[in-house]
Structure 1
Amino acid sequence: MSEHPRTQMNDDFTNPVRLSLMAALQGVEEIDFKTLRETLGVSDSALSRHITGLEEKSYLKVRKGFVGKRPRTWVKLSAHGRSSLTEHIQALRAITSGL
C-alpha cells in the first residue's frame, strides 16, 4: 500500500514565506540577503527568522562576509535542503493531481 502524499509533505515548508524562500533558492547557487528580501517582499526581521529556523534544521547554508566595508550575508540550499524541497514539491504535485 502506498503512503498518502500528506505524510510525505515537510511541515517545515508549509509556511508560505518558508516555501517561497526555499523555492527562490532552488534556482540559484547562492543569493544575498537583500536580493532575497526584495524577491520575497518580506521584512528583514521576518526573513532573518525564517533563515535561522531553516539553517538550524540544515536546509540552508549561510555565509557572512564583506563587500568593501559593508557586511553581507549570502544564503544557499544545502544538499539536504534541496532534496527535502524536491520531496515536498512531489508530495504537493501528487495531492493536486488527485492521487
Structure 2
Amino acid sequence: MTDGELDPVIHAQARLRVVATLSAMPNHASITFPRLQKLLDMTAGNLSTHLRKLEDAGYVTQTKTIEGRSPATYVALTPAGLAAFERYTAQIRSLIDPTGDPA
C-alpha cells in the first residue's frame, strides 16, 4: 500500500462497518459474534468471511470460549486494527477537505 492509498482490507463496505463498530466499543472491549452480527445485520457466513480477512491482516482477534455448556466467540479490534482505522479515517477526511479547513 502506498501513501495516500486507502487500506483495501478496511475499504470494503462490510469490513469498514465491522471495524467502525468495533472501534466504537467502550475501552475497545470485545463483543460476542452474535451481537456483532445483529448490530451489523449480516449473515453469520458473511460476517465470518470478513472477520477472517480482518484477522489475517492483524486487525481483529477472535477468542473462542465456553460459557456454561455453550461455545462463545468474542471479537475485538487489535491495536494494529485501531491504528489502521485511524489512518483510514484521516485519509478519508483529507480527501473530503484537502485543505484541512474546518467548515
TM over 0.5: yes
Q: CA deviation at 1:82?
A: 0.5
Cα distance between partner residues in 2 of 1:53 and 1:10: 13
Cα distance between partner residues in 2 of 1:96 and 1:67: 45
Cα distance between partner residues in 1 of 2:17 and 2:69: 30
> What whole-Å deviation, never above 9, does each CA across 1:43-77 have from its counterpart, x for those lacking one?
00000011111101111111000121111100101
Cα distance between partner residues in 2 of 1:96 and 1:12: 20
Give the letter aligned to residue 74 of structure 1.
Y
Tell me the number of residue pairs that the alignment of Structure 1 and Structure 2 aligns: 95
Pair 1:12-2:9 in alignment: yes
Q: Map 1:4-43 onto structure 2 (within 5 A).
A: 5=4, 7=5, 9-28=6-25, 29-43=29-43
Greater relative contact order (Cα < 8 A, sep 6+): 1
Q: What SS does structure 2 have at the residue aligned with 1:63?
A: strand
Q: What SS does structure 1 have at the residue aligned with 2:42?
A: coil
RMSD, matched Cα: 1.5
Pair 1:55-2:55 in alignment: yes
Give the letter aligned to residue 79 of structure 2.
A
Pair 1:96-2:96 in alignment: yes
| Structure 1 gap ranges (5+) | none
| Structure 2 gap ranges (5+) | none
Identity value in percent = 23
Q: What SS does structure 1 have at the residue aligned with 2:34?
A: helix
Q: What's the TM-score, normalizing by structure 2? A: 0.86
Q: What's the TM-score, normalizing by structure 1? A: 0.89
